[in-house]
Amino acid sequence: MSIPSRNELIPPGSWLGMLGGGQLGRMFCHAAQQLGFKVAVLDPASSSPAGAVADLHIRGAYDDRDALDHLASLCRSITTEFENVPAASLAQLASRCRVSPAAHAVDTAQDRIKEKAFLASTGVAVAPHAVIRSADDIPLASDGLFPGILKAARLGYDGKGQVRVATREEALAAFRSLGEVDCVLEAMLPLDHEISVVVARGFDGESVVYPPAVNEHRNGILAVSTVARETISGSGHAVEALEAARSIAEALDYCGVLCVEFFVLTDGSLVANEMAPRPHNSGHYTQNASVTSQFEQQARVMAGLPLGDTSSLCAVVMLNLLGDVWFDSEGRERAPDWTTVLQVPGAKLHLYGKEEARPGRKMGHVNCLGDDLNQARQNAARVAQALGIAFEAS
């Protein structure tokens, strides 16, 4: 089976491959199957959200050469659902099939040091920072980086691998607590809010962007994403973010779905925070509030199909559902009140099929739709109340 050229169409009925068995892979499977594709998932777990709905689950480690060969023998195009897939595995697969995203793009996003350097090279503003590879680098850091956040260069997500530090002494203690791995010390900026932009770019170089989502985090985990249909063209920083996301994807020669997170500072300026080489939690709103979801877009890119329309159909508030929803205030397990949730007009429930609910574990999300942002927020407030989630409608 030959490697498809960059512009070659892979028709429905063909096999597409997925590295990773999590919820993003599950939602990709649904979208790809709706387009008529069969999906093979490679994941080491005996059961997984994506493996449960895929047409084939290949059980193996992400660096298992035999498992990778099996996947490549079946699929003409392969993608990922999380950024910590070994870049070497993607390079191995690329010798036999189309891979999206490419190994070099994933390798850049996996390492905050490389990521910061790349983002800065595109001309997009990034937070002032210093590379910390040893304890000796901390005394050399600029005074302007304090207070700051010390972030492990690799394997950090959802607030993990990050420590707030006010002084050099705290930075040294944090560096030791992180195992003295390579880190980035980043200045804390006067943040007004965070936005994220999902961009899809095909192998032909064409790209599309979705309206920015305004994000709210709790304990380092995304809790709420909001998109107002009437602000698609957006304010100055929204337009700037859309253009920056496109330029970042082009500079990286990225093919697939990419999310870029930005800080909007109190003075209205925009700073790129990080990028995720995959569909993103903040893009889940596209499943119900956009003409084409981010997951369908991922399948379109892999198959060489035309990119879909990213127009918004309505305003939306996405509520992330963590395992905490399955427990009451005293820690006793309970069944969430799905009946009340689904009585709310515009409430679209997405559960990930995970067998065990645990506090802090992503279990699902609810997209709360409305004709305008006020209605979407009111619907989200009703859903949040039914599930015991903190949410301010105003």
User: Is the overall model pTM greater than 0.75, yes or no?
Assistant: yes
* 128-187 fold: Dna Ligase; domain 1 (3.30.1490)
| Structure confidence at residue 230 as a pLDDT band (50, 70, 90) | low
3-state SS class at 172:
helix
| Structure confidence at residue 201 as a pLDDT band (50, 70, 90) | very high
The confidence score (pLDDT) of residue 159 equals: 61
Q: What percent of the chain has pLDDT over 90?
A: 89
pLDDT tens readout for residues 70-107? 999 999 999 999 888 898 999 999 999 999 999 999 99
Q: Is the separation of the CB atoms in 28 and 50 below 8 Å? A: yes
Q: Is the pLDDT of residue 158 over 70?
A: no
Q: Is the pLDDT of residue 375 over 60?
A: yes
The confidence score (pLDDT) of residue 156 equals: 65
Does domain 191-387 fall into CATH 3.30.470.20? yes
Torsion sign across C-alpha atoms 4, 10, 13, 19 = positive
Q: What is the mean pLDDT of residues 204-213?
A: 96
The confidence score (pLDDT) of residue 330 equals: 86
**Structure-derived torsion over alpha carbons of residues 23, 24, 26, 27, reported in degrees to the nearest 10:** 120
Give the architecture (CATH level 2) of 15-100: 3-Layer(aba) Sandwich (3.40)
| Structure confidence at residue 62 as a pLDDT band (50, 70, 90) | very high
Domain residue ranges in the chain: 15-100, 128-187, 191-387
CA–CA distance, 286 with 289 (Å, rounded to integer): 5
Q: Is the pLDDT of residue 133 over 70?
A: yes
Whether 15-100 and 128-187 share one fold: the answer is no
**Residue, of 20 and 159, whose pLDDT is higher:** 20
Question: Percentage helix, strand, coil, to 5, in the chain?
Answer: 30, 30, 40
Q: Is the pLDDT of residue 142 over 60?
A: yes
Please spell the DSSP secondary structure of 97-140, one letter per residue: SEEES-HHHHHHHH-HHHHHHHHHHTT--B--EEEESSGGGTTT
CA–CA distance, 305 with 258 (Å, rounded to integer): 17
Q: What is the mean pLDDT of residues 258-272?
A: 95
Q: Is the pLDDT of residue 387 over 90?
A: yes
* Two structure tokens written together for 272: 């790129």
The confidence score (pLDDT) of residue 157 equals: 62
Q: What is the mean pLDDT of residues 98-118?
A: 94
**Residue, of 331 and 141, whose pLDDT is higher:** 141
CA–CA distance, 247 with 35 (Å, rounded to integer): 29
pLDDT tens readout for residues 3-50? 877 778 999 999 999 999 999 999 999 999 999 999 999 999 999 999
Average model confidence (pLDDT) across the chain = 94
**Structure-derived torsion over alpha carbons of residues 75, 20, 318, 347, reported in degrees to the nearest 10:** 70
The confidence score (pLDDT) of residue 164 equals: 95
Q: Is the pLDDT of residue 233 over 60?
A: no
Type of residue found at 12: P
| Structure confidence at residue 340 as a pLDDT band (50, 70, 90) | very high
What is the spatial order of strands in the sheet that 183-187 belongs to?
129-132, 183-187, 148-152, 162-165
